[in-house]
Structures are given as structure tokens and as C-alpha cells.
Amino acid sequence: MKAFRVRLARSGLELFVAEGRSIASVLQEAGVELPTSCEQGICGTCRTTYLEGEPEHNDFVLTPREQESELMPCCAGSRSELLVLDL
């Protein structure tokens, strides 16, 4: 997965997600509380709404319809340079 930026809509915090890193790990490292469990995209614990951008979905939980507004930060990447999350 290529590098991209993630912005938290509620706080405005913007973070860089380097190639090979997960959104979840970058958020947790920055002190953002995000519940996770499997960290492989199979449990749905970290399900998060996104507001802007084009995620690269790598989970096994979300239906195509759900993928239109949600992603799994433990395994999702981004096709766009910026993803805005509803956090």
C-alpha cells in the first residue's frame, strides 16, 4: 500500500501513514483511541466511517454498500492522497 495522509474530521489532526503501516497503528501511536482486535480485517471491531477520499478496502467484513461509507483502519489503505475519517 502506498503512503497517504489521514485527517480526523472532529479534531482536524492530520497524520502521515507511511507505506506498509496501518491507519490503526498510526492513530494509536498518536494517542487516538481506536478499538481493535484481530487487526486483519475479519472481526469488524475497528469499523470507522470515512467522509472523504477513496479507501483501498482489504477487509473481509464490509459489504460493497457498507464500503461506500465505512472502512477498517486495521487493514485499509488509500487510493487517494487524503482520507478524512469521522473521528
Phi and psi dihedrals of 56, rounded to 5?
A: -105, 100
DSSP string, 28-72: HHTT-----SSSSSSS-TT-EEEEES-EE---SS--TTGGGTEE-
Domain limits of the chain? 4-85
Mean confidence (pLDDT) of the chain: 96
Read off the pLDDT of each residue in 21-44 and give the average, rounded to a whole number: 95
Residue written as grid cell 475519517: 85
Read off the pLDDT of each residue in 26-53 and give the average, rounded to a whole number: 95
pTM: 0.94
What CATH superfamily classification does 4-85 receive? Answer: Beta-grasp domain (3.10.20.30)
pLDDT tens, 50-83?
A: 999 999 999 999 999 999 999 999 999 999 999 9
Cα–Cα dist 40/57, whole Å: 12
